[in-house]
Structure 1
Amino acid sequence: MSDILDKIVATKKIEVASCLQKISLANQRGQAEANNRDALLKPRGFIQAIENKISAGKAGVITEIKKASPSKGILRNNFVPADIAQSYENHGAACLSVLTDMDYFQGCNAYLQEARAACNIPVLRKDFTIDPYQVYEARAIGADAILLIVACLELNQMKELEACAHELGLDVLVEVHNAPELEQALELRTPLLGINNRNLKTFEVTLQTTLSLMSMVPDNKTLVTESGILSHADVELMRNNQINAFLVGEAFMRATDPGTALSELFF
């Protein structure tokens, strides 16, 4: 694990312990299950939304709502999650990814709730999930999918978290950066596999990461390329290699209108 990931995971353990003091696991689970019975809050089908776009011959784009990052600081001052969500949906996004980590990304659960309430597309809770409590919390706040980052989890942890997510009807995006991580990710049931082109140790980005690992991904998985998609040439490079699902955040967050930036880059 990289230094920054070590710090984030250590902080996350403290955060989970603190949250447990405020809202019990039983209460989070109860709210999660109540949401599953609510027509407006039940899971929207994150993976299906991506596959529907791809089946229609389009790019399946997961568009990110992210105020800041540890490496770049504040990305967007005019930060209104509901407006950004609507803009993304209106311009063809398959799904949203909303940062909820407060300490390192200046996110919060309310941003996810505001974004989801403003649109009809599925929402990924983008956070550092290390404990089942966070899975119940994700569904309790309305998330349709969670992220599991192989670099900060053991395989048995990932299997436990994935099983918990699937029990609640949540989809899972599992994220890797290298071959050993990819081998572990393939032990999971989820068909959605993300390759992060950003090295979390150095924060350097290269699309070669996806291109070098793609041959290891079986046909029954949907491959998402994450980070570093900045130009039409980048999109074309990936689509020419039969990679049709993308997660893009920073490029859109810096644009005057994120949705317009989405349609200009992909559609």
Structure 2
Amino acid sequence: MLSDLVDGALEDAAVRREAVSLADVEQAAAEAVPAVDALEALSPRERVHIIAEIKRSSPSRGALAEISDPASLALSYQTGGASAISVLTEQRRFGGSLEDLMMVKSVVRLPVLRKDFIAEPYQVFEARAAGADLVLLIVAALDQRTLETLYNLIVELGMTPLVETHSAEEVSRALDVGASLVGVNARNLSTFELDQNLFGELADQIPSGVIRIAESAVKSAADVAHYRKAGADVVLVGEALVTGDPIATLQEFLDC
């Protein structure tokens, strides 16, 4: 499944490159408003941080929410107390787009994450051109040389990489490239199985000074509390927010 998602994302990027060249995207990235400091926005504090996700569908759950106005939803997230907003820009399985990200970025002051299957520099430049402040890198989808190259490019463009892992070996690889934001995804992107205890098993491997993010398997405040107790500085939440009252749900989660 992960290979299919990456291949599809690269095919879609190739189509966009036919319409907008790499040189033009690089120029647009250089002219974009500077990125918001995501490390400052997500720095550890007494209360957990929530990254609130705009997510229409997923391969594991199918359709979740129509979300005809992602900007309005993003404003609700900001009102509810989210510390950052994740926008799924993958179109085939998740129903997202870079246009969603641009709409969100135009109305919020929070850092915005481009969540996609990033595997080549063109995608990084278009993320910056669209206004992204953070870019997701999935360790399982990349060899170490590519991971390092993309990580360094993201930093060079003033953005923050969120490096996602799913095993002790992947956490080690994330730390080897200098990651300051390390996510642990409870969902195995090859099988789509969930293990909510995985974060707790890997958290001690992530040193102090690196922000620890728990991803997936969040349906209730109890799930957020579970991750917080295991050492999460940040919890990324999607489905629970798009299928319920986003403001009320966020405030409930932030009380954990």
TM tier, shorter chain?
A: over 0.9
- Give the Cα–Cα distance (whole angstroms) in 2 for the partners of residues 17 and 231 of structure 1: 39
Which one of the candidate residues 220, 233, 253 is aligned to 1:265? 253
Which one of the candidate residues 133, 136, 141 is aligned to 2:125? 136
- Other structure's SS at 1:21 match: helix
The letter of the residue matching 1:185 is A
Look up the match of 2:205: 216
Percent identity, please. Answer: 37
Q: How big is each residue's C-alpha offset from its partner over 1:14-73, in whole Å with a ceiling of 9 and x where there is no partner?
A: 2222222111111111101101xxxxx32111221111xx33x12111110011111111
Which one of the candidate residues 42, 45, 50 is aligned to 2:42? 50
- Other structure's SS at 2:163 match: strand
Indicate whether 1:204 and 2:193 are aligned: yes
- Other structure's SS at 1:207 match: coil
Look up the match of 2:2: 5
- Give the Cα–Cα distance (whole angstroms) in 2 for the partners of residues 264 and 80 of structure 1: 24
- Other structure's SS at 2:126 match: helix
Look up the match of 1:123: 112
Indicate whether 1:235 and 2:235 are aligned: no
The letter of the residue matching 1:252 is L
CA-CA distance at 1:179 after TM superposition: 1.4
Which one of the candidate residues 78, 88, 97 is aligned to 1:89? 78
The question of whether the paired residues in 1 share the 8 Å contact of 2:241 and 2:249 is answered with yes
- Give the Cα–Cα distance (whole angstroms) in 1 for the partners of residues 151 and 7 of structure 2: 21
After TM superposition, the structure 1 = structure 2 runs for residues 13-32 of structure 1, keeping only pairs within 5 Å, are: 13-32=10-29
The question of whether the paired residues in 2 share the 8 Å contact of 1:82 and 1:114 is answered with yes
The question of whether the paired residues in 1 share the 8 Å contact of 2:52 and 2:85 is answered with yes
- Other structure's SS at 1:83 match: helix
- Other structure's SS at 1:98 match: strand
CA-CA distance at 1:204 after TM superposition: 2.1
Aligned CA-pair RMSD: 1.3
Runs of 4+ aligned structure 1 residues displaced above 4 Å come to none
The question of whether the paired residues in 2 share the 8 Å contact of 1:84 and 1:259 is answered with no
After TM superposition, the structure 1 = structure 2 runs for residues 101-120 of structure 1, keeping only pairs within 5 Å, are: 101-120=90-109
- Give the Cα–Cα distance (whole angstroms) in 1 for the partners of residues 54 and 142 of structure 2: 24
TM-score normalized by the length of structure 1 = 0.92
- Give the Cα–Cα distance (whole angstroms) in 1 for the partners of residues 136 and 31 of structure 2: 22
What is the aligned length? 255
Look up the match of 1:38: none
After TM superposition, the structure 1 = structure 2 runs for residues 175-194 of structure 1, keeping only pairs within 5 Å, are: 175-194=164-183
Q: How big is each residue's C-alpha offset from its partner over 1:98-154, in whole Å with a ceiling of 9 and x where there is no partner?
A: 000111111011111111112110100000100001110000001001000011100
- Give the Cα–Cα distance (whole angstroms) in 1 for the partners of residues 118 and 212 of structure 2: 20
The question of whether the paired residues in 2 share the 8 Å contact of 1:198 and 1:204 is answered with yes
Could you list the runs of 5+ residues in structure 1 that have no partner in the other structure?
36-40
Indicate whether 1:72 and 2:69 are aligned: no
- Give the Cα–Cα distance (whole angstroms) in 2 for the partners of residues 23 and 78 of structure 1: 27
Which one of the candidate residues 126, 136, 153 is aligned to 1:147? 136
CA-CA distance at 1:199 after TM superposition: 1.6
The question of whether the paired residues in 2 share the 8 Å contact of 1:177 and 1:199 is answered with yes
Alignment CA distance shift 1:260-1:183 (3 Å): same
Which one of the candidate residues 31, 34, 37 is aligned to 1:34? 31
Q: How big is each residue's C-alpha offset from its partner over 1:198-224, in whole Å with a ceiling of 9 and x where there is no partner?
A: 122332222211011112111121110
- Give the Cα–Cα distance (whole angstroms) in 1 for the partners of residues 114 and 142 of structure 2: 17
